[in-house]
Amino acid sequence: MRLAHISDVHFYAFPGIRGSLGKRALGLANLYVGGRRGHFGGDTIPQLVEDVLAQRPDAVAITGDLTAMAHAEEFEMAREAFRPLLDALPVCIVPGNHDAYTLAAVRDRTMEKVLGPWMAGGRWDPTERRWTGAEPGVPLRWPVVFEVGDVRLVGVNPCRATLSATGRFPRGELDRLEGMLAALSRERKFVFLLCHYPLLDRDGRPYARRGHNLLDLDDLLAVLRRQPVGAVLHGHEHHWFTASLPTPGGPVPIFNCGSSGYARRDPERTAGFFVLDVEGGELVSARRRSLLETGFREYPEGDTRPRPPT
C-alpha cells in the first residue's frame, strides 16, 4: 500500500474588509507583513497534484492547514485544486489550526460542509470511488478511522479557535483514541496516525514551540507509548523533518510533511510531500518529493525514514 502525505497548502482568498475583522485581521497582517502570501500559490499546487498522481499512490493523507483563514471560499479552492485526487483516490483529511481559525468557522462547521466526505472516515469503496459507512452530515466525532485495504488511518483533531496557534484535545478524544488503537492492534493492522500538530521537534524533543504547540502533548505521547502506531504523519511546521519516538513496543517513525505549497528556491525548504510504502504490515520506505526548479523530483534521494535514536 502506497500513501502520499501532503500538508499545509494554505489556500488564501481575500475576504474583503468585512470578513477581516477580529482575529482574521491579525492573519491578514501576517500574510502581508510576513510575506507569507508570496510563498504560497502560483502553479505549485497543479504540479503537486500531477506529481502525486504520477507516484501511483493507493491513498492520500492531508494533515491540515488547507486554508489561511478558514473561509468557505478557501476550502472550496482546496477542494477544486485537489479534485483530481479526490475523484480518483481515497483521500483522508484532518483539520489544522488554520482550518479552525475563528469561532464562527468552527461553529458553522465550514470545513466539514465543504470537505466532510473526506474527513468522516469509513471504508473506501474502490468501485464507487467514495468513502462509505461513515456519516459526514452529523458533527464529526473524533478520532475517525479510514480503512484502505489492510491499512488504517486514524485522524485526530485537537484544533480550536483561539488567539494563539496552540491545540488541545477536547475531553474524551484521547480516551477514544486509545481504545481505537488497542482494537486495531488486536487486529494487527498497520496504523498511520494523522495529527496536524508535531509531537517531537527536529531534535527529537517534545515539540514545545510556545504559542504553536499541542498543550496536552504529554497525554498524547503517553497514549502512543501504551499503544504504538506504525507511523505518525503531521504538518504545522512548514519545513519538513522526521523524528523517531521511542516506545516500549519499538520506535515509532514520525514524518513532518512541512508545507506542500511553499515555493522557494532553497531545496531544503521548498514544497514537498512524502511517498510512504507499507508492505507486510511494515513501513518499508519513505521517499521525499520536492519542488525544484525543474518540477517535483525525489529530493533528497533515497529513503528518508528516521533512524531511531541510539
Q: Which is nearer to Fe ion, 111 or 151 (CB)?
A: 111
Q: What is the nearest approach in angstroms of Fe ion to the Cβ of residue 197? A: 8
Q: What is the nearest approach in angstroms of Fe ion to the Cβ of residue 165? A: 6
Q: Which is nearer to Fe ion, 98 or 305 (CB)?
A: 98
Q: Which is nearer to Fe ion, 10 or 288 (CB)?
A: 10
Please report, for residues 49, 98, 237, 290, the alpha-carbon distance to residue 302 in angstroms, rounded to integers and kept in the order given.
22, 32, 23, 13
Q: Which of 8, 74, 112, 173 binds Fe ion (CB under 5 A)?
A: 8
- Tell me which stretch binds Fe ion (CB under 5 A): 6-14, 49-57, 79-87, 166-174: 6-14
Task: Write out the three cell numbers for 247.
Answer: 516506545
Q: Which of 9, 45, 60, 65 binds Fe ion (CB under 5 A)?
A: 65
Q: Which is nearer to Fe ion, 8 or 173 (CB)?
A: 8
Q: Is the peptide bond before 300 cis (omega within 30 degrees of 0)?
A: yes
Phi, psi of 7 (to 5 degrees): -160, 160
Q: Which is nearer to Fe ion, 97 or 213 (CB)?
A: 97
Task: Scan residues 219-248 and list those touching Fe ion (CB under 5 A).
Answer: 236
Measured between alpha carbons, how far is 197 from 132 in angstroms, rounded to an integer?
Answer: 27
Q: What is the nearest approach in angstroms of Fe ion to the Cβ of residue 7? A: 7
Task: Scan residues 84-123 and list those touching Fe ion (CB under 5 A).
Answer: 96-97
Q: If phi over 0 gives left and psi between -120 and 50 gives alpha, with beta otherwise, what is residue 52?
A: alpha
Q: If binding means CB under 5 A, how many residues of this protein chain bind Fe ion?
A: 5
Three-state DSSP state, 269: coil
Task: Write out the three cell numbers for 22.
Answer: 477580529
Name the residue type at position 206: P
Question: Are the C-beta atoms of 184 and 154 separated by less than 8 Å?
Answer: yes
- Tell me which stretch binds Fe ion (CB under 5 A): 62-70, 172-180, 187-195, 225-233: 62-70
Q: Which is nearer to Fe ion, 12 or 131 (CB)?
A: 12
Please report, for residues 24, 63, 231, the alpha-carbon distance to residue 220 in angstroms, rounded to integers and kept in the order given.
29, 17, 14
User: Which residues of this chain interact with Fe ion, rule CB under 5 A?
Assistant: 8, 65, 96-97, 236
